[in-house]
Amino acid sequence: MQNGLLLTGWIAIAMLSSACAPNRAPQTPGAGPGGQAARHSVIPLPAAIDISTGQSFAITPATLIVYEASDDPRVGITAAQLARLLASALPSPPPVRPASGAPPAGSILLSAGVANANLGEEGYELTITADGVRIAASTAAGLFYGVQTFRQLLPWSIEYQAARPHPIAVPLGKIQDRPRFVWRGAMLDVARHFFGVEDVKRYIDLIALYKINRLHLHLSDDQGWRIEIKSWPNLTAHGGQTEVGGGTGGFYTQAQYVDLVKYANDRFITIVPEIDMPSHTNAALASYPELNCNGEAPPLYTGIDVGFSTLCVDKDVTYTFISDVVREIAALTPGPYFHMGGDENKKLTPPQFRAFIERVQPIVQKHGKDAIGWDDIAPATLLPTTVVQHWRPEASHVAAAKSNKLIVSPASKSYLDMKYDKTTVLGLNWAGEIEVRTAYDWDPVNSVPSPQAGNIVGIEAPLWTETVATTGDLDFLAFPRLAALAEIAWSSPQAKNWDNFSVRVALHGPRWSALGVNFYRSPQIAWPDMR
Ligand code: TNX
């Protein structure tokens, strides 16, 4: 009861601090709509946050990180991650210890076993007093999210990698927080341009800071097959050797994929593997002639057209192939999902396409996963467990999937590969231009037919890579928009406010600079002087 009352009070504070203001960019860098300095720059905005002005807790070489034992090994991993972060500003990394008795004054205490129904599966409570810091949650995931919030309350200079001792002060305050949606997704297309393990880990690090908890990897397309399949080795030996523009492509060995899955899991991110089918399959068709209806392998493809390829849906070998691929990938993937694509088939008749989707879903199920498909699959008869990913901006495309769960990723709002404006060199514009404010000012509930709003599990921010060849390109299209989308996924829609967000996101500019992120300096945001 007491918790409930307090929470209501804090929500009021969070909402007051984001009360509606005229729609204009703030005048002073780092200043709020009322001209006052931002008290904090936490993104996504917590459910309830009360941050003091003036008083702070100092992290010193004597600060300890203490964690309470848990069955989940990620509690200790999270503590070690926090120590690594703080190490960049201290003469030596802070000691990390399992708790025994009450922690010494001045410690940072991480506790993942608290019984507080208000926190749910992913919520946390963060308390910073003059005597120490306490991050408490019911689960290791909640603890991790509390640490991400704490990280954003630290000065941005903490993000510089070089060890350079300097004072670290965190404002005193209290936060109680939990997410709106369980599905807070990002998608990376590693097929059009290949991104190696280190690049994907870097992206995982960046999205984890914003409490994203799903990374959907688009592992195959016309231009490349990116994951080793031991029973069909030519998929990567041949089909993995190029990419858009004719580069040398690449692929993940199964061991590398397992390493990525673990790296993501240590940051509470579930990998969602996608093998796109029946279209977007030229790389597979080029690798195995028997998958083509005419038995002839087409050449590898390095352009950016879509919809021209298709598996031969009338041959049994096609389903043997699919079953082998799903089986091998499912065995390496602890997460419960397998994304079967299903988008943009321009070759099959609607009945052929529907029959294909109806035949593949049970294959996915047989290998222990729930199928996900792009909204093109909605007209087929779907299993109750199949999840539909809304992408074509018209809500009507998901109407047929009446009771299936929905991931909302409208191309006109959440596609990170759309240009920001007419002057943006990178990116595409078939779904429009998406400035930061456009990426922020929408709500998933309005993207689907209203009777289906209750089926929404969350949102996703896809980054297609036809025009994205380097991590610098990737950064430029993802940031700041990823931060805007993360707030839609996590924060309450009532507390959402562009003026307030634009002030907070401005303060992520120096943080991104310190992290080496090549973010887009949107003219809609009053960035602080970063010279
Ligand atoms: C549409 S979104 C596609 C992709 C392209 C993307 C480019 C979807 C399911 N299909 O094949 O890469 O547009 O924005």
Complete domains list, the chain, with CATH? 10-177 (3.30.379.10), 183-490 (3.20.20.80)
Q: Which residues, including other chains, have CB under 8 Å from residue 69's CB and lie 6 or more apart?
A: 75, 98, 99
Q: How far is the CA of 434 from the centre of ligand 1 (A)?
A: 15
Q: Is 246 left (phi over 0), alpha (psi -120 to 50) or beta?
A: left
| Cα 293 to middle of ligand 1, angstroms | 25
pLDDT above 60 (res 4): no
Sign of CA pseudo-dihedral 255, 259, 261, 262: positive
* Exposure letters 377-402 (e unless 16+ CB within 10 A, then b): bbebebeebbbbbbbbeebebbeebe
Q: What are phi and psi of 471, to 5 degrees?
A: -65, -30
Q: What is the pLDDT of residue 37?
A: 59
- For the CA of 428, the closest atom of ligand 1 is 14
Q: Which residues pair with 98 in a beta bridge?
A: 67
pLDDT at residue number 356: 98
Exposed, middle or buried by CB within 10 Å (0-12, 13-18, 19+), for 301? buried
Residue ID of nearest Cα to ligand 1 atom 6? 464
Provide the CA 193 distance to its chain's centre, in angstroms: 19
- The pLDDT value recorded for residue 10 is 37
Give the model's confidence band at 21: pLDDT under 50 very low, under 70 low, under 90 confident, else very high: very low
| 197/208 Cα distance (integer angstroms) | 16
User: Is 50 exceeded by the pLDDT of residue 8?
Assistant: no
What's the pLDDT at 54? 87
Residue nearest to atom 2 of ligand 1 (CA): 391
Nearest alpha carbon, ligand 1 atom 13: 464
Residue 461 CA to ligand 1 centre (angstroms):
12
Contact partners, residue 92, CB within 8 Å, separation at least 6: 61
Is residue 466 part of the annotated active site? The answer reads no
Q: Residue 271 in contact with residue 332, Cβ under 8 Å?
A: no
Question: Which residues are within 8 A (CB) of 79 and not within 5 positions of it... i.e. 6 or more apart?
Answer: 65, 67, 96, 110
Q: For residue 464, report the distance from its CA to the centre of ligand 1, in Å.
A: 7
Nearest ligand 1 atom, CA 341: 9
Q: What interhelical angle do 197-208 and 471-478 show, nearest 10?
A: 20
Which atom of ligand 1 lies at the shortest distance from residue 462's CA?
2
Classify residue 157 as exposed, middle or buried by CB count within 10 Å of its CB (0-12, 13-18, 19+).
middle
Instruction: Please list every protein residue whose CB sits less than 6 Å from any atom of ligand 1.
Output: 306, 343-344, 374, 391, 415, 417, 428, 464, 466
Strand, coil or helix: what is 308?
coil
- Phi, psi (rounded to 5 degrees) for 109: -105, 125
* Of 306, 345, 389, best ligand 1 pocket probe by most atoms within 8 Å of the beta carbon: 306
Specify the 3-state DSSP secondary structure of 377.
helix
Which tokens go with 260? 């990525």
Tell me which residue has its CA closest to atom 9 in ligand 1.
343
pLDDT digits (tens, 9 = 90+) for 56-91: 999 999 999 999 989 999 999 999 999 999 999 999
Q: End-to-end distance of the chain based on CA atoms, in angstroms?
A: 49
CA of 206 to the centre of ligand 1 (A): 23
In ligand 1, which atom is closest to the CA atom of 376?
9
Q: Which of 274, 290, 344, 487 is catalytic?
A: 344
Looking at the CA of residue 374, tell me the nearest atom of ligand 1. Answer: 9
Compute the distance from residue 517 Cα to the ligand 1 centre, in Å.
Answer: 25
DSSP assignment of 37-69: BPS---SSPPSEEEEEEEEEEEE-TT--EEE--
pLDDT at 3: 36
User: What percentage of the chain carries pLDDT values higher than 70?
Assistant: 92
Q: What is the pLDDT of residues 339-396, one digit of tens each?
A: 999 999 999 999 999 999 999 999 999 999 999 999 999 999 999 999 999 999 999 9
Query: What number is the average pLDDT over the span 255-276?
Result: 98
pTM: 0.94
Q: Tell me the CA–centroid distance for residue 430 and ligand 1, in Å.
A: 10
**Residue whose token pair is 């049994």:** 316
231 CA to centre of ligand 1 in angstroms: 28
Rounded Cα gap, residues 283 and 302, in angstroms: 10
- Let me know: does 67 contact 75? Beta carbons within 8 Å: yes
Q: Which of 5-14, 266-275, 450-459 shows the lowest mean pLDDT across its residues?
A: 5-14
Which amino acid, 57?
F
d(CA 319, CA 303): 27
Atom of ligand 1 nearest to the CA of 221: 11
Residue 502 has pLDDT above 50, yes or no: yes
Residue of 218, 244, 343, 434 to mutate, ligand 1, most atoms within 8 A of C-beta: 343
